[in-house]
Chains A and B, each alone.
Chain A
Amino acid sequence: MQLQGLIDAAVAEVGSVLLGKEAQIRLALCCLFSRGHLLIEDLPGMGKTTLSHALADVLGLSWKRVQFTSDLLPADILGVSIYNRSDASFSFHPGPIFTQLLLADEINRTTPRTQSALLEAMAERQVTVEGETRPLPDPFFVIATQNPVHQSGTYPLPESQLDRFLMRLELGYPHPRAERQMFERGHNSGAERVVLARRISDEQLRQIRSRAATVHASDNLLDYLQRLVAYTRSSAEFAVGLSPRGALALLDCARTWAVMHNREHLVPEDLQMVLPAVAAHRLVPAGDYAGDGMALVELLRREVDVIRP
């Protein structure tokens, strides 16, 4: 099937600049195909910008970047109306948000006010400035990055805001072999950016999305999903379980994942593969529980059996 080859080619293309991160690349693509936004939580210099740039290239999307700072205002992102003396009217100057792929860098360094302006635009896929509503381009995809919250001078996103990101990824340090390869190639930050070839056309993107909507989810699978969700809500280790929105996000991503792996029905692996990225940031451990969201996902995966016992 050509779709499979298409996606493999796209992954390989991105992988040529972001070495040894195939799993994260696939998840990022999955998030994009599922019309979601992506939050990358990692230290600086791990390849967040490279990833977003590469994704924009292979999908042929327009790309903009906003560096979030503590004095950034909503208007700096959304745009402003400026009085134009020549024709005596206000004209709207769109902000950087009017792009197909926006890299919102270090989103937790700006004030909650600006954060919520971005998040609102992400959810609505439109911007209302001075009473006028302007739609954002389609596809619209935000990759926000966040420093690990223990760094000082940050406004960590509250759980309710985290829920708006379909996935959260951690890139992590590269594999030693990949890092060695990187050294040998001699990439450095000052060099000219490598522009990647476009691999997926708008038509193909639409096709992927429409196919994802038709992926079959059997009773057994929905049952498994429901047991997963029920476990997060009833088990003592969880302070906050998965919301219905979280459960739907899980199902949507799993469907896209199935399409990406050329299947017309969902299997439990699909759910399990997207589970850490989709669920970890939506789960809050109970006060006594020593682990974080990832540990909770691991617990969930272990405790809820695929086949009803």
Chain B
Amino acid sequence: MNPGQQIPRNALVWIILCLFTLVAPHAGRLPVWVLAVYLFAAAWRTMVYQGRWSFPGRLVKAGLTIASCVGIYLSYGSLIGLEPTIALLLTAFALKLIELHQRKDAYVLLFLGYFICITEFLFSQDLPMVAYALVNVILVTTALVALHRPGEHQFNRKTVRLASILVLQSLPLMLVLFFLFPRIGPLWTVPIKSHTARTGVSDFMRPGDISRLGKSDEVAFRVQFEGAIPPPSALYWRGLVFSRQEEGAWRSLRYYDIPPAERRQAPVATPGEPLSYRVIMEPTQQNWLYSLRYARSESPGVMSSADFLLFSPGVLEDERMYQVHSWPEAVLDPTLTDWRREMELRLPPGENPQALALARQLRAAAIDDAQLVDAVLAMFTEQSFGYTLEPPLLPMDNQVDAFLFDSRRGFCEHFASAFVTLMRAAGVPARVVAGYQGGEINPLNRTVIVHQFDAHAWAEVWLEGEGWVRVDPTAAVSPQRIEWGLEQAMQAEGTFLSDSPLSPLRYRGINWLNTLRLRYDDLTWRWQSWVVGFDRERQFQLLNTVFDGISARKFMLVLLASGLLVLGPVAFSLLWRARRRDTSEADRCYLLFCERLARAGVVREAGEPPGRFAARAAAQLREAGDEICRITGLYEQLAYAGDTSPQRQQAALLALRRAVRRFRSNPRTA
């Protein structure tokens, strides 16, 4: 092997290191055997380096390739789809290590490394992941640099520094591309990730579902208001409306169960100034979006349902940002259609006889629907109902009866469900609403952080003349929950985040820790709203405001100008450096002559002196031989013989120029 082509030891160390840092973020998703392949490949390559083993033969390589494909197929049940494809790519990446013979193989491997670095973002776009990807890019670049610096100590600081400088130098270009490169719609779509758990409120509600969410400290979404933030007790983030009960769970109406006439939202009067806010949701793998009532959004890809909710046509696989206007005072559904009334009064037949009896009893005592609501709420307050994160298990049948007359301890979903059952039994249209309530205000950037433990369920009843009115039975049992949040409500019980002792939210009392947490959250907000949320619309908006109206032509100009702005100085400095080398007139003429000869099929080799080249060229192009020798002679006289006067130099230069120019007129004479 040409010694200039071998892979130096220091580069090999970096390459193997890169391999492992690149696979690390995927480790949790990959089958264990893929990780074993990494160790195996690294061990093999090290043994090859030490000269104890040899590179694998053709048959072994083919065998390994087939075995990995079969392995992936067995592990995932398919070779198509995001995760199997990435697993295949990563396995191939590891196996490439054992055929790393020469420098060019290392190039292939490392350039693939950059690509693998990007695949991490298919799964997470968090800030820590970005920082990690940056480290990876620097590592891969370091390996590339080390490839060109043989004979160094393997962990030379200078190599790392040079790589870091290279990566830093690419940042301006990265920014230009980020802000200006047209966001083209996907040319192909990646199939949905099969193994990602759906998080947050789900599309049905059984007793215990929301109290389970109450134990999670993950962030559900963040909101930034334009103007003052409403008090926490007004922040009811509606996500889903449950109107039907089936198999012991509350569920939404299926789209195809709704008659076509009912599918459109009834017109709503919107008096006064709306609340305006921006929401960034974490990925949920679901398709509903959270908003305050009554919400309208002009953001693209956000739709409104007949229940006055917002939803997205596709599931949220990534962070999603949308802008909302809300009118909390708006009257929803001032009149109820017959179909709707029937749906909102329906109860599973034959269940909860005791509750039905109680409802009839209350109905008889109440003058109107509003008083009936008050009576039920008063019942929750006065009788000894307990609000707890750890409600006792309820039997499958007659759950409301069991709760109202037996256990009497429950979380918001128990109260909401019981309340709606009583209301419906008493002939008042009612439904369960699921979503989040409240949120933590980050004083650093005035955002509201809504965690999973803020998940909540409440009720809406339809009152004549007032439309749908929000009633929160939990507020009757535990007013602290609504005013101060779950942590305060559970103080006596001590169950707040009791399953996650390391959650920073448990230590809000420690001031510096809390500040640190809020700062990090602020950073996440900025990252999400500026980088992750920077889609085609934001790009268009930004360009529109910066350049005062944008057209395709203007955009092209901006793109070209900024490219020039970034690449211009680089090009200029390169050209300037090249100019400073001041190739003389004679050299330029001669190089032109060499180009012409190259076109005729005789290429001057690297380091070949003019005289020897002329002899070779003359032998090859016999007819032009004399002319080649004459031109070379002229050049040699100019470049090397210094004994001529300036006049003679000038004459020789003229003759050379003329001869070279004439030489072009008859290429391929030979």
| Residues in chain A within 8 A of chain B (CB atoms) | 216-221, 236-237, 239, 264-269, 272, 286-291, 295, 299, 301-308
User: Which residues from chain A contact B643 at a C-beta distance below 8 Å?
Assistant: 216, 264-265
Q: Which of A265, A301, A303, A308 contacts B640 (CB 8 A)?
A: A265
User: Which residues from chain A contact B470 at a C-beta distance below 8 Å?
Assistant: none
User: Which residues from chain A contact B8 at a C-beta distance below 8 Å?
Assistant: 288
Known contacts A220-B587, A306-B607; 18 further A-B pairs (Cβ under 8 A): A218-B640, A218-B641, A219-B642, A221-B640, A236-B150, A237-B4, A237-B150, A264-B643, A265-B643, A267-B640, A268-B611, A286-B150, A288-B6, A288-B8, A288-B9, A302-B606, A305-B606, A307-B587
How far is B635's CA from A223's CA once the two chains are assembled, in angstroms?
16
Q: Which of A216, A236, A268, A288 contacts B641 (CB 8 A)?
A: A216
Q: Which of B9, B607, B609, B642 contacts A303 (CB 8 A)?
A: B607
With an 8 A cutoff between CB atoms, is B51 at the interface?
A: no
User: Which residues from chain B contact A217 at a C-beta distance below 8 Å?
Assistant: 642
User: Which residues from chain A contact B206 at a C-beta distance below 8 Å?
Assistant: none
* In contact, A236 and B609 (Cβ under 8 angstroms): no
B636 to chain A, nearest CB (A): 6
User: Which residues from chain B contact A239 at a C-beta distance below 8 Å?
Assistant: 151
How far is B606's CA from A305's CA once the two chains are assembled, in angstroms?
6
User: A286 and B590 in contact (CB under 8 A), knowing A220-B640, A264-B643?
Assistant: no
Summarize B's interface: helix, strand, loop or mixed.
Answer: loop
With an 8 A cutoff between CB atoms, is B591 at the interface?
A: yes
With an 8 A cutoff between CB atoms, is B565 at the interface?
A: no
B399 to chain A, nearest CB (A): 76
How far is B641's CA from A290's CA once the two chains are assembled, in angstroms?
39
- How many residues does chain B have at the interface if contact means C-beta atoms less than 8 Å apart? 29
Q: Which of B3, B584, B587, B606 contacts A295 (CB 8 A)?
A: B3
* In contact, B642 and A218 (Cβ under 8 angstroms): yes
* In contact, A289 and B3 (Cβ under 8 angstroms): yes
B148 to chain A, nearest CB (A): 7
A261 to chain B, nearest CB (A): 10
> How many pairs of A and B residues are in contact by the CB < 8 Å rule?
82
How far is B642's CA from A53's CA once the two chains are assembled, in angstroms?
39
Instruction: Offer 20 A-B interface pairs, CB within 8 angstroms, sorted by A.
Output: A216-B642, A218-B642, A219-B642, A236-B148, A236-B150, A237-B150, A239-B151, A267-B611, A268-B609, A268-B611, A268-B640, A269-B609, A286-B150, A288-B8, A290-B6, A299-B4, A301-B607, A306-B607, A307-B583, A308-B581
Per-residue CB proximity of B570-586 to A under 8 Å, as 1/0?
00000000000101100
* In contact, B151 and A308 (Cβ under 8 angstroms): no
With an 8 A cutoff between CB atoms, is B278 at the interface?
A: no
How far is B605's CA from A301's CA once the two chains are assembled, in angstroms?
10
User: Which residues from chain B contact A265 at a C-beta distance below 8 Å?
Assistant: 640-643
User: A288 and B581 in contact (CB under 8 A), knowing A301-B607, A303-B606?
Assistant: no
| Residues in chain B within 8 A of chain A (CB atoms) | 3-4, 6, 8-9, 148-151, 581, 583-584, 587, 590-591, 605-612, 636, 639-643
Residue of B nearest to A301 (CB): B607
User: Which residues from chain B contact A308 at a C-beta distance below 8 Å?
Assistant: 581, 583, 587
Residue of A nearest to B578 (CB): A309
* In contact, B610 and A268 (Cβ under 8 angstroms): yes
A161 to chain B, nearest CB (A): 25
Residue of B nearest to A299 (CB): B4
How far is B643's CA from A221's CA once the two chains are assembled, in angstroms?
14
How far is B610's CA from A287's CA once the two chains are assembled, in angstroms?
34
User: Which residues from chain B contact A237 at a C-beta distance below 8 Å?
Assistant: 3-4, 150
User: Which residues from chain B contact A288 at a C-beta distance below 8 Å?
Assistant: 6, 8-9, 150-151
How far is B642's CA from A220's CA once the two chains are assembled, in angstroms?
10
* In contact, A304 and B636 (Cβ under 8 angstroms): no
* In contact, A306 and B642 (Cβ under 8 angstroms): no
How far is B6's CA from A291's CA once the two chains are assembled, in angstroms?
12
* In contact, A302 and B9 (Cβ under 8 angstroms): no
B15 to chain A, nearest CB (A): 15
* In contact, B641 and A291 (Cβ under 8 angstroms): no
User: Which residues from chain A contact B641 at a C-beta distance below 8 Å?
Assistant: 216, 218, 264-265
User: Which residues from chain B contact A302 at a C-beta distance below 8 Å?
Assistant: 605-607
User: Which residues from chain B contact A289 at a C-beta distance below 8 Å?
Assistant: 3, 150-151
How far is B605's CA from A304's CA once the two chains are assembled, in angstroms?
11
Residue of A nearest to B148 (CB): A236
How far is B150's CA from A299's CA once the two chains are assembled, in angstroms?
15
A280 to chain B, nearest CB (A): 16
Q: Which of B4, B581, B612 contacts A269 (CB 8 A)?
A: B612
Residue of A nearest to B3 (CB): A290
* In contact, A304 and B151 (Cβ under 8 angstroms): no
User: Which residues from chain B contact A299 at a C-beta distance below 8 Å?
Assistant: 4
How far is B591's CA from A105's CA once the two chains are assembled, in angstroms?
49
Residue of B nearest to A258 (CB): B640
User: Which residues from chain A contact B149 at a C-beta distance below 8 Å?
Assistant: 236
* In contact, A306 and B609 (Cβ under 8 angstroms): yes
Q: Which of B151, B581, B610 contacts A306 (CB 8 A)?
A: B610
Residue of A nearest to B611 (CB): A269
User: Which residues from chain B contact A219 at a C-beta distance below 8 Å?
Assistant: 642
Residue of B nearest to A268 (CB): B609
How far is B582's CA from A308's CA once the two chains are assembled, in angstroms?
9
* In contact, B612 and A218 (Cβ under 8 angstroms): no
- Among B150, B612, B640, max chain A CB count under 10 A is at B640
